Amino acid sequence: MRRGIAATALVATLALAATACGGDDKGGDETKAGGELSGTVTWWDTSNDAEKASFQKIAEAFTAKHPKVTVKYVNVPYGDAQNKVKNAFSSGSEAPDVIRADVGWVADFASLGYLDEVPAETAKKVDAEFLPQAAASGKYEGKTYAVPQVIDTLGLFYNKKMLADAGVQPPKTLEEVKTAAAAIKAKTGKAGLYLRGDDSYWFLPLIYGEGGDLVDAKNKTVTVDNPAGVKAFKTARDLVTSGAAITNATDGWTNMQTAFKSGEAAMMINGPWAVADTYAGDQFKDKANLGVAAVPAGSVKAGAPQGGHDLAVYAGSKNRAAAHAFVEYMTSQDVQVQSTKELSLLPTRAAAYEQPDVKSSEMVQFFKPAVDKAVERAWIPENGSLFEPLKVEYTKAITGASSPEDAAKSAGTEFRKILKGWK
Amino acid sequence: MAAHTSQSVAKAAGGDGEDSVAARGRSRRTDSAKRGGLGRALATHWYAWAMVAPVVLVLGVIIGWPLARGVYLSLTDANERNVGRTIGANHIEATYTFVGLDNYADVLADPVFLQRLVWTVVWTVLCVSITFTLGLALANMLNRDFRGRAAYRMALILPWAVPGFVSVFAWRFLFNRDSGILNKILDGGGISAIPWLDDPTWAKFSVVAVNVWLGVPFMMVALLGGLQSIPGELYEAAEMDGATSWQRFRHITLPGLRAVSMTVILLSTIWTFNMFPVIFLLTRGGPGDSTEILVTQAFREAFVASPRDFAGSATWGVLILALLMIFALVYRRSLRKQGEVW
């Protein structure tokens, strides 16, 4: 019985202590004893398996600058991240302080009130020192909610040796991809191109190639189902039926990387984030064997989407000052140069491109001009939501489950359900 | 203590009887008659009610309230953008409104609902019938004495012991078209690779196969229990009469298992109808949307597009619940007609 009373008393004390802590949330961790930051910053990182060790190391090094801040690094697989982040943000429990958000998510999260505005000072720096197209992705209704960490776009990765063996040049158009693939098949028995079929991001170069786009944000019009869009779905299907490309409707990322790394496919369309993992493959023990070219053009032009990741702070974070400081650190020039060196990722600070390590990186030499020309997407809150219905239709079209016309039409219908009031 | 309890229970059990009321005198009787059935039940069974109250309370909080809330949400236009919340410094007022049955009209008018419903029914019927048949066959095979029976039983129950998501992911690896072991084996036999999860028909086949694999142990164990409760004398007598093994199965085993099998079929139907993890983890409803069932579609409505449509997914949820309730009612009625007490 005595123990019971003691336990009750203990619980009561704890509850009191907890409410006391909860009471001064506003001050709490944020109070800077002598201007020093303290507390814990939880960072949800979405980088892939090949990149995560490097980012964890970089993130935890923040403690060297701010000894009283502990960084809690959590890797969240990119595929599940958008949902997980939303669950955590809307419920508030176990929510991270800082997230690495795909550029397509920022406007969405900001419009829902989940993100804390970037401090004015940092926002000014973002405008002055970062690549303008990267900075644009962190904004919503004129305010800055995220600081760009890396920028990227898609390119055509090719196995130099396989192409040389087949006696073909890196193709510049999809027509050339077909001829090259036929030569590769004849010579080596392997596939020409791996075209990812389970993620609609990989559909973007095809639709840009026909001169189309998903939506026209300026005129509030859905454009995925116009003739250019239909043509793009046709092209996707045609690449597979003609035997130029192999594809999968599930586990596309793993299958694509495996096929390319082991030489089962001579080419793939991918971004800088795949470089570190690709170098780990048998075919690329000699790093010089990996070549990168612009995405092949469709019948109109060659176009790849601008992508990348931004860092943003949760509006409900109990430790906002430290969180913002962490974001600033993670997007600093030194850190960007380091991740370029280790992972071939592209910096978002204009001045970083002057650094010798960045300048000498072959991937940067290729991707920087590509990024400059990349198609900037509409930074609307619905941006991220468009990819799911598009994926369904893209997969159906590429596997032949529905005709290109039907796929384009259904994608348009779904888009208009999401974008209420658009034409 | 024990004596007290038993007395109360006895009172509770026989409380409605004329003698117990008479013992309390006339005045109280008229009083309780005025209060009606509920009041009298409360007065006489207060102890039982007190015992039940915590359970009712907990069920009310964890099932009743969310259910009521879900039904309410399905009658509004609530979504992630217009429900009230406070996140740090951002305070957002609730601005969603009551829209009546609009959501139901929208969902039912959308051809997607019918498509999903048809596949959900096909999926449920296929899974339950195959699982039941296999479970019954295995249970019969195990219901006799032979060497290593315990080992076989263990092996057959194994799929049940492994967490569902682990099994499903394992199957996903096996089904992989390029590097999965199933296609490697087929390749070795000279058969070209099968697009297990990449072709709508094969994907449907695959999800059914995995669900059957996961469901058979339960069926087998339940039916084995049922088999063991059938008296052996019946079989002996039938054998004496010269009944063939099929006749024994048809006229002794099946009727003997009726009570058990009706229960497991009902349970299995409800589980399969709402079997989210197998579909979601194996194919994500794909390729395209070909293996999407009602619950995975409800999830898609709620969690994939942004802002999340709370009202829309609540509508799907209520419709799913309604369908299952109708099914259970019809099922129960048909059982009652066959003379089962249920």
Return the SS3 of A172: coil
* Nearest-by-CA chain A residue for B282: A250
pLDDT band at A35 (very low <50, low <70, confident <90, very high): low
With contact defined as beta carbons under 8 Å apart, do B81 and A108 qualify? no
Q: Is residue B73 part of a domain?
A: no
Do A396 and B287 count as a contact with CB atoms less than 8 A apart?
yes
Other Cβ atoms closer than 10 A to A103: 28
Do A399 and B198 count as a contact with CB atoms less than 8 A apart?
yes
Half-sphere exposure of B92 (CA within 13 A, CB side): 20
User: Closest to A113 (Cβ–Cβ): which among B90, B178, B203?
Assistant: B90
pLDDT for the residue numbered B335: 82
User: Closest to A108 (Cβ–Cβ): which among B179, B195, B306?
Assistant: B306
Residue B159 has pLDDT above 90, yes or no: no
Mean pLDDT of A46-52: 91
Q: Mutate which of A117, A251, A260 to disrupt the B interface (most B C-beta within 10 Å)?
A: A251
**A341: distance to nearest CA of chain B, Å?**
32
Q: Which helix (H) or strand (E) holds A191?
A: strand A191-194
CATH 3.40.190.10, applies to A153-306+380-418: yes
Phi, psi of B298, rounded to the nearest 5 degrees:
-60, -40
**A357: distance to nearest CA of chain B, Å?**
38
Count structural domains, chain B: 1
Mean pLDDT of A91-104: 90
A34 vs B211, residue with greater confidence: B211
* Nearest-by-CA chain B residue for A407: B288
pLDDT band at A120 (very low <50, low <70, confident <90, very high): very high
Cα-based angle B76, B78, B81 (whole degrees, multiple of 5)? 160
**A113: distance to nearest CA of chain B, Å?**
6
Residue B210 has pLDDT above 50, yes or no: yes
CA distances to A138, A199, A379 from A143, in Å = 8, 30, 13
Report the relative pairing of strands A39-45 and A69-75 from DSSP bridges.
Answer: parallel
DSSP H helical segments within A251-382, as ranges? 252-261, 275-279, 320-330, 333-343, 356-359, 362-373
Mean pLDDT of A27-37: 52
pLDDT for the residue numbered B154: 84
| Calpha distance B280→A214 (Å, rounded) | 27
Residues of A in contact with B284 (CB under 8 A): 250
CA distances to A250, B181, B193 from B176, in Å = 8, 8, 10
For residue A91 the two structure tokens come to: 């419920």
Q: Is residue B3 part of a domain?
A: no
| Calpha distance A45→A63 (Å, rounded) | 17
Do A86 and B306 count as a contact with CB atoms less than 8 A apart?
yes
pLDDT by residue (tens digit) across A143-152?
999 999 999 9
Do B287 and A86 count as a contact with CB atoms less than 8 A apart?
no
**B91: distance to nearest CA of chain A, Å?**
8
Q: Is residue B80 part of a domain?
A: no
* Nearest-by-CA chain A residue for B80: A112
Residue B41 has pLDDT above 80, yes or no: no
pLDDT by residue (tens digit) across B214-254?
999 999 989 999 998 999 899 999 999 998 989 998 999 99
Break chain A into its structural domains and give their ranges: 39-152+307-372, 153-306+380-418
pLDDT for the residue numbered B341: 58
User: Closest to A248 (Cβ–Cβ): which among B87, B178, B305?
Assistant: B178
pLDDT for the residue numbered B196: 85
Domain limits at B235? 102-337
**B290: distance to nearest CA of chain A, Å?**
9
| Calpha distance A338→B183 (Å, rounded) | 42
| Calpha distance B143→A298 (Å, rounded) | 66
Q: Is residue B13 part of a domain?
A: no
pLDDT for the residue numbered B3: 40
Phi, psi of A217, rounded to the nearest 5 degrees:
-65, -30
**B305: distance to nearest CA of chain A, Å?**
5
Mean pLDDT of A114-134: 92
A307 forms beta bridges with A152
Residues of B in contact with A399 (CB under 8 A): 195, 198-200, 287-288
Mean pLDDT of A149-178: 94
Do B287 and A83 count as a contact with CB atoms less than 8 A apart?
no
**B181: distance to nearest CA of chain A, Å?**
14
* Nearest-by-CA chain B residue for A199: B288
**A114: distance to nearest CA of chain B, Å?**
7
pLDDT by residue (tens digit) across B299-323?
888 788 778 888 988 999 999 999 9
User: Closest to B178 (Cβ–Cβ): which among A198, A259, A317?
Assistant: A259
Q: Mutate which of B107, B198, B210, B299 to disrupt the A interface (most A C-beta within 10 Å)?
A: B198
Q: Is residue B46 part of a domain?
A: no
Do B286 and A198 count as a contact with CB atoms less than 8 A apart?
yes
User: Closest to A250 (Cβ–Cβ): which among B200, B283, B306?
Assistant: B283
Residues of B in contact with A314 (CB under 8 A): 87-88
Return the SS3 of A302: coil
B9 vs A96, residue with greater confidence: A96
* Nearest-by-CA chain A residue for B292: A392
| SS3 annotation, chain B | CHHHHHHHHHHHHHCCCHHHHHHCCHHHHHHHHHHHHHHHHHHHCHHHHHHHHHHHHHHHHHHHHHHHHHHHHCCECCCCCCCCEEECCEEECCCCCECCCHHHHHHHHCHHHHHHHHHHHHHHHHHHHHHHHHHHHHHHHHCCCCCCHHHHHHHHHHHHHCCHHHHHHHHHHHHCCCCCHHHHHHHHCCCCCCCCCCCHHHHHHHHHHHHHHHHHHHHHHHHHHHHHCCCHHHHHHHHHCCCCHHHHHHHHHHHHHHHHHHHHHHHHHHHHHCCHHHHHHHHCCCCCCCCCCHHHHHHHHHHCCCCCCHHHHHHHHHHHHHHHHHHHHHHHHHHHHCCCCC
Average pLDDT value for chain A? 88
pLDDT for the residue numbered A406: 94
Q: Is residue B160 part of a domain?
A: yes
| Beta carbon pairs, A and B, within 8 Å | 98
**B114: distance to nearest CA of chain A, Å?**
17
Residue B15 has pLDDT above 50, yes or no: no
Predicted ipTM > 0.95: no
Phi, psi of B86, rounded to the nearest 5 degrees:
-125, 120
Mean pLDDT of B37-53: 81
pLDDT band at A228 (very low <50, low <70, confident <90, very high): very high
The rounded radius of gyration (Å) of the Cα atoms in chain A is 24
**Percent over 90 (pLDDT), chain A:** 68
CA B164 to chain centre: 15
Q: Is residue B187 part of a domain?
A: yes
Residue B26 has pLDDT above 60, yes or no: no
Q: Mutate which of A250, A382, A398, A399 to disrupt the B interface (most B C-beta within 10 Å)?
A: A250
Q: Is residue B176 part of a domain?
A: yes
* Nearest-by-CA chain B residue for A89: B87
Residues of chain B whose beta carbon is less than 8 angstroms from a beta carbon of chain A are: 80-81, 85, 87-90, 92, 172, 176-179, 195, 197-200, 203, 283-284, 286-290, 300, 303-308
* Nearest-by-CA chain B residue for A396: B288
pLDDT band at B340 (very low <50, low <70, confident <90, very high): low
Chosen CATH of A39-152+307-372 out of 3.40.190.10, 3.40.50.300, 2.70.70.10, 1.10.10.1150 = 3.40.190.10
Do B176 and A388 count as a contact with CB atoms less than 8 A apart?
no
pLDDT by residue (tens digit) across B59-87?
999 999 999 999 999 999 988 888 888 88
Half-sphere exposure of A44 (CA within 13 A, CB side): 23
pLDDT by residue (tens digit) across A360-369?
888 888 898 8
Q: The CATH number of the domain where B126 resides is what?
A: 1.10.3720.10
pLDDT band at A212 (very low <50, low <70, confident <90, very high): very high
Residues of B in contact with A255 (CB under 8 A): 176-179
